[in-house]
A and B are shown apart, each in its own frame.
Chain A
Amino acid sequence: MIIMKDVQKAYDNGTRALKGVNITIQDGEFAFLVGPSGSGKSTIIKLLTAEVAPTEGSVRVNGYLLDRIRNRKKSMMRRTLGVIFQDFRLIEKKSVYENVAFAMRVTGAREREIQKRVPYVLDLVGLNVDTDRRPDELSGGEQQRVAVARALVNNPSTIIADEPTGNLDPVRSLEIMMLLEKINELGTTVLVVTHERDLVDRFEKRVIALDNGRVISDGMRGYVIHEQEKATPTE
């Protein structure tokens, strides 16, 4: 569960990235976070992953209050999250299997546990490639599936996907979104940050729209489109 209450964030250079954001995402929910560049999407991800702390207000993720979280607790909180990035962020020198196993290994999982879980997760994300191959030998879609598998392997409560389809063609993008939807159906909370409106329109999901550090609309797809159109009047 994610709860952001009256969250403000100002950086040292004076930029006010968030100006009183209130968002609650229930366990098991699927939500899109949309908005133009500079609207505060990246700051929200940084707050949710405890990379930065809010200037004011409170952020609670999967039971952890992140306002003044200690380093030791940060790592424990992050184990309840799976994060997916636009640029996949796979370790080039490690194989597909090792990239996924690595995420379990750093949490102290036993080798037998890893050997059982990694093939299961790779199968779940529909990756049908030789797992000894390195990331640079895979297509963009396949690399993103590996990244999704890595995010899933520790069985997180919440998946946060930051522009997960930004580097993919429309077909692969749709496949990844459908994969995230499937993961959500299995009970994991999913928050997808994107600016691809066409993709958002294809899914009947909650959409939280940000602009200039504020939530300008929050609701089901149709409502959001209406609100966005009101916010940016056409000639």
Chain B
Amino acid sequence: MSNADELLRIEGIRKTFPGVVALDSVDFDLRRGEVHVLLGENGAGKSTLIKMLSGAYRPDAGRILAGGEEVRIHGAQDSERLGIATIYQEFNLVPDLTVAENIFLGRQPRRLGVIDRKRMEAEAAVLLERVGVNVSPRARVRELGIARLQMVEIAKALSLDARVLIMDEPTAVLTSEEVDKLFAIVRRLREDGVGIVFITHHLEEIAALGDRVTVIRDGRSVGQVPASTPQDELVRLMVGRSIEQQYPRERAEPGAPLLAVEGLTRDGVFHDVSFEVRAGEVVGVAGLVGAGRTEVVRAVFGADPYDRGTVRVAGAPLPRHDVNAAMAAGIGLVPEDRKGQGLVLDQSVEENLGLVTMRAATRGGLVDLKGQREAAARIAAQLGVRMAGLGQQVRTLSGGNQQKVVIGKWLLADTKVLILDEPTRGIDVGAKVEIYQLVNELTAAGAAVLMISSDLPEVLGMSDRVLVMAQGRVAGELPAEQATQDAVMALAVSAPATPRTTPTTTEVEAGRGR
């Protein structure tokens, strides 16, 4: 069973945390020159498994073999020695050091005890060249966008002579263009004989890049299948049941306009943005990352100021830069950065659900805690939030359940216009469908939904109308029937009518996750 091409083998791994079995009898193996996809819902145990390989956790039972020999990985040094490098979703880079310094952090080439900058930068340049990214070794990491940060991480892994490269959802924050580039690099590494463990939620990426797939469900490995397996089958393995329809949009009859935005402009960021959303309607906002979509909806919600234009809810104009006025008018925002802006992570489910309604539940300075608890319990049950209890910290919930909590707090406030910014990013298939159902219920009840998403199939599948933004302007609007991937992309990359006076970057690149 020992195979010359085998880099890693994991047998019967078990890991428990207090009160929780995270992994149980998981098997996995990795060969030279393959992309092995790890597939599973959030909370299935994928992260725990890769942390075991990077030395962050130790298994309670089972064994890990590297090159046919049993090894113990007790820390980052051990995994580095074994040639295992991990690229997490949160990068381990020091923002104020240069690219070269980050690549060689702690291992800078030295001459007479002084860091040999010239050699370090030359070596870094070679590595960056190999990764195929056009960035100066002397650039500061702080100045780089997310895609390039990822490339720097990969270069760093190469500098360690990694034979095993683990990538945790590397495509989650990239635009489709950047994803193509990443794939090219991964394919090149595969040709060089590197074994790659690839975690993703995007099923179409599996066929495009992967060789084999190991599916993990509830802490167990439930199957190993070739990457050519049909998506339906992968979903069934992952969720444990088949999902009838990935985008179950039920269209409601559109009513009167609820949200009307006219000529909204913030100089240098977005220009002359006009649109309206009717009751019972889902309007999708597509576009490349950096097209100004998030900035527009934040301005509509009053979180950020704008220079010109008007925002009306049900005909009444809203004051500029006033979150409370927007809320009072019935607007709610589910922000893009769930953990950074949507949740108070160390507080309980109950506290988070009650955040928006707390003011309304206050009489004479006292919060009606009992009423808040009852409301939270009701909405948590309605949304099917999977939790140990209302007192559980939201930090310990899975991504999908966290997102339900964010949406839940707006539902409690009787929101009429709900703005969803990347509502399903990093969320597994099962939870996605539940969130779509929720959108259906909202529109059926007469609310309006404005949904930003970089996931094109999602925009096309769930929207009644699609608004496409490019470089801070509305490039076009498509009714659902005419909205195809090609049509949307054509608009998204279209040059705006009046070119921007200050082009920022030649490459369109994602901001740092904001």
Q: Do A and B make up one complex? A: no
A residues adjacent to B (C-beta < 8 A): none
